[in-house]
Chain A
């Protein structure tokens, strides 16, 4: 009798588990989605993968965490934390804090070859064959993939923000060095 009851219970729970495995199946790898969300989405390919998602997939497979150049130190540390691995130093040439940039097409020099349009990973360049192209600055991620393909070198890198928009308060360490507000440093009059 006891064996029979256990058998029945086993069958019921087995059926439940089997049902749950199908009903609540997770499509795709949730880790990849989380990693993708951490990456800066510039789609620049500097990690040697064709976009942020492929690098996220590679990271989930155990690739090195220090390949994202635009993300810099901060992104690397977040990825390492999520994956539970030790942070790795960035390549020395990538060590500098990335300054957000955009590209700008010098329109008189553009011959309308459409090569940059094909290279742009986020469709931020508009134009047609033998017609001038231009960059939609709000959509440009600053990946610079359009620069090497341009036959006339008419694409230049410009800072993403200029003037007042580019300024932000720096981290105050104490009143004496705090430069913005209640600062007490001598002022240079001019």
Chain B
């Protein structure tokens, strides 16, 4: 629960002095961050080929802006589409995912299936961009900071979308959608916690680009009409805090109050809901968004990207990536253009590719192993770890759960990880769902503290995936049932209508019978008397008489009449022939 820790306060000017709360659980893993004095590498050699996925790791499809026909190998070889740095090369037809821009000038030479940065490593189609030695930006519509603050919020949000900006903290959720909330927002929180070990790209950015971040924050605040900005930074980044405070004193604007709040180092305080709890003491209810509390949280790197997009007009084409681990000779934050294959980045960082056994994309707590070195760096990748055996050793085989309960003490969402584990293992999805499995943020704190080394988060991911599949199947089954019942009802109705028509025809036939006898009567005037007799028998038919028998009797009668008529005709025909025979 949200406990106020009164002894944790900053003693600066007012906006920095807000009460700090805490969240349940959390862990303190070794930091292993790149030393803060290592400068970031901005001059990474451009890779020869960049790979730009047309399917995001969430499965959303982008369509290429060019018609690329690859049906025959000859056609595929001929593709040469020149692009300029910053040009839009792919868009989402649904308008949800922001567009993808060319990270460098060069030529698009086709589409190739390359292992994606999704945990499965499944290959997805990617545009292949062959970079050229001369780099040429497209025209960049720059804007002054004051102009940006004077322009309407909807324009700013539209520009953020057009610049391809997504949350750079790891989830890659489109920033423009987060900003276009209808709820009133009073506070913008900049998430500079960067709580996961190893990762230090936001720390570096706050040291190097403090002014840009402050201006970006003002633009974001303007876009959601917030008047307060709180930048939350863990106390293991004193240089970043110092740098931001220095720039704030030189930054003269009066529209928003900017607070720079130091929070205690604890994993996972950089989680959106955890950070809100630290700063406000409020928990975001399940199924609600921070916007429901009047808050919006943005990542530091996203804020810098917003500054670039609005003030300099530059779309999002590169990002800082922490490259660390014992196998990396020079750990540093590299400015990597999107689409750069991991292999190129590692080669440039002087890594001996023969000696590495694994590469982790993302941090050590929430990242996943890469299955291919060809995988490109994309928007959500903030860190690459190439560890040594000693650093992240092969864990011992999982032991049995001893029900020690350390996991529930560590869980930042206050769930029951042990119960969830049992239910996931027994594949009891409903029970796991009832224990709020879907509130799990997959931070890995439970698995970190587990003395039996149970891969708890993997169990939760497995259970979540199965539960989602099962719910989807249930919905589909329900729909199929309704469709089947409707089809069955329709077929039954058609059958009933047919039966009804048959019945109607039978009744009509019965009613028509006397009338149908009428023309016969006219044809055979000679037999009028017998017909009359039969008519009377039909019309005077006793209602008690079986209609079937009656019908048969009628039919026999009709046949008899016909025979009679025929016989009569035959009698006449010889007469006629004799007559005709006489005439000549």
For A135-151 the 0/1 string (1 means CB < 8 A from B) is 00001010000000000
For residues 491 through 520 of chain B, which have their beta carbon under 8 Å from a beta carbon of chain A? none
- Checking A120, A163, A182, A189 against B455 with a beta-carbon cut-off of 8 angstroms, the contacting residue is A182
Are A164 and B476 in touch, CB under 8 angstroms? no
Q: Which of B120, B368, B458 has the most CB of A within 10 A?
A: B458
Assembled-state Cα–Cα distance A39/B458 (Å): 29
Residues on the A chain within 8 Å of B481, using CB: 36, 41, 52-53
For B54-78 the 0/1 string (1 means CB < 8 A from A) is 0101010000000000000000000
Assembled-state Cα–Cα distance A155/B461 (Å): 36
Interface residues on A, range: 35 or more
With CB as the reference atom, state the residue of chain B lying closest to A182. B455
Residues on the A chain within 8 Å of B119, using CB: 169, 180-181
Known: A180-B120, A190-B372. A169 touches B462 (CB 8 A): yes
With CB as the reference atom, state the residue of chain A lying closest to B481. A41
Are B480 and A186 in touch, CB under 8 angstroms? no
For B438-475 the 0/1 string (1 means CB < 8 A from A) is 00000010010000011101110110011001000100
Question: Within 8 Å of chain A (Cβ to Cβ): is B543?
Answer: no
Which of A12-20, A86-94, A171-179 sits within the interface? A171-179
Known: A165-B59, A182-B458. A187 touches B359 (CB 8 A): yes
Assembled-state Cα–Cα distance A170/B395 (Å): 19
Question: Within 8 Å of chain B (Cβ to Cβ): is A124?
Answer: yes
Question: Within 8 Å of chain A (Cβ to Cβ): is B242?
Answer: no
Are B118 and A187 in touch, CB under 8 angstroms? no
Assembled-state Cα–Cα distance A63/B372 (Å): 52
For A118-131 the 0/1 string (1 means CB < 8 A from B) is 00111110000000
Question: Within 8 Å of chain A (Cβ to Cβ): is B483?
Answer: yes
Question: Within 8 Å of chain B (Cβ to Cβ): is A134?
Answer: no
Question: Within 8 Å of chain B (Cβ to Cβ): is A167?
Answer: yes
Assembled-state Cα–Cα distance A181/B119 (Å): 7
- Checking B122, B358, B368, B394 against A164 with a beta-carbon cut-off of 8 angstroms, the contacting residue is B122
Are B368 and A175 in touch, CB under 8 angstroms? no
With CB as the reference atom, state the residue of chain A lying closest to B389. A184
Q: Which of B353, B370, B455, B480 has the most CB of A within 10 A?
A: B480
* 25 A-B residue pairs with CB within 8 Å: A40-B473, A51-B484, A51-B488, A53-B485, A120-B487, A141-B476, A163-B122, A169-B458, A174-B397, A174-B455, A175-B395, A176-B394, A180-B120, A181-B119, A181-B455, A181-B457, A181-B458, A183-B358, A184-B358, A184-B394, A186-B357, A187-B359, A187-B372, A188-B372, A190-B373
Q: A139-B479, A167-B122, A175-B453 are in contact. List 16 more A-B contacts (CB 8 A).
A: A39-B477, A52-B481, A121-B483, A122-B480, A122-B484, A124-B483, A163-B55, A167-B118, A168-B466, A174-B453, A175-B397, A180-B119, A182-B458, A184-B395, A187-B357, A187-B358
Chain B residues engaging chain A, CB cutoff 8 angstroms: 55, 57, 59, 116, 118-120, 122, 124, 353, 357-359, 368-374, 392, 394-395, 397-398, 444, 447, 453-455, 457-459, 461-462, 465-466, 469, 473, 476-481, 483-488
